[in-house]
Amino acid sequence: MDVVSIECPNCGAKIERKPGEYFVTCKYCGGEVCFDEIKEEAQIGRLKSKLDVLEKKDKDEEAVRKSLQSWVKKRNITLGIMSFLQCFGFFLVGCSGEDPADDGLVGLGSMCILAAIGMLIAAPIVLGALYPDYNILSGQKDSTARIKMWLKLFGISLCICLVSVILAFVILSILGFVD
Ligand SMILES: [Zn+2]
């Protein structure tokens, strides 16, 4: 075993440990240094910093989880409003007849449909930008997560609009507006 040099825990001076030595008196401050203690302290220090890293990771993940939850809520509300507008709009247009008195219904219905189409375009862009690009499973930032979510949202929005139109058509058929 070679001579190992370490720092004195009292004054910081260099102490040389010769093979087989467990205690040494520091030449500078006169303090007695036990080598095993130093080893233990170093180990505790290492464990503590490991724990700190884990705790920080936990806190980061908790924050991401919370932002993800609030994002899901915003997404559901947005998609809900969009499908309602689409369904309601088509329903209003579908149930109005030739009567000029129905023009108001057609106008309102058209506005609902236009608003839903606007949301169909805007929702994936806005929600995609708000989506946290952090992968909880890998614990790392995932730059493709946003793009993947954008495509997924666009697909879901399109499906919701189609289903809403079909739903409006079914309601109109049941009520006897469609031959
Ligand atoms: Zn010392």
- Core vs surface per residue 138-150: b (16+ CB within 10 A) or e: eeeeeeeeeeebb
Say if residue 124's pLDDT is above 80: yes
Average pLDDT over residues 25-32: 88
- Kindly list the domain boundaries of the chain, sorted by start residue: 67-175
Distances from the Cα of 155 to the Cα of 62, 121, 161, angstroms: 29, 11, 10
Centroid of ligand 1 to alpha carbon of 11 (angstroms): 4
Lowest mean pLDDT, pick from 17-26, 61-70, 106-115: 17-26
Centroid of ligand 1 to alpha carbon of 109 (angstroms): 86
Residues shown for the chain: 179
Per-residue pLDDT tens digits for 126-168: 888 888 777 666 667 777 888 888 888 889 988 988 998 899 8
Q: Indicate whether this model's pTM tops 0.95.
A: no
pLDDT at res. 136? 63
C-alpha dihedral sign at 90, 91, 95, 100: negative
Per-residue pLDDT tens digits for 42-87: 888 889 999 999 999 889 888 888 988 999 999 999 999 999 998 9
pLDDT at res. 81? 94
Q: % helix / strand / coil in the chain, to the nearest 5? A: 70, 10, 20
pLDDT band for position 9 (50/70/90)?
A: confident
Centroid of ligand 1 to alpha carbon of 54 (angstroms): 34
Strand bridging mode 32-34 / 134-135? unpaired
Could you tell me the two tokens for 14? 């260099």
Q: What residues are neighbours of ligand 1 (ion), with CB under 5 Å? A: 8, 10-11, 13, 26, 28-29, 31
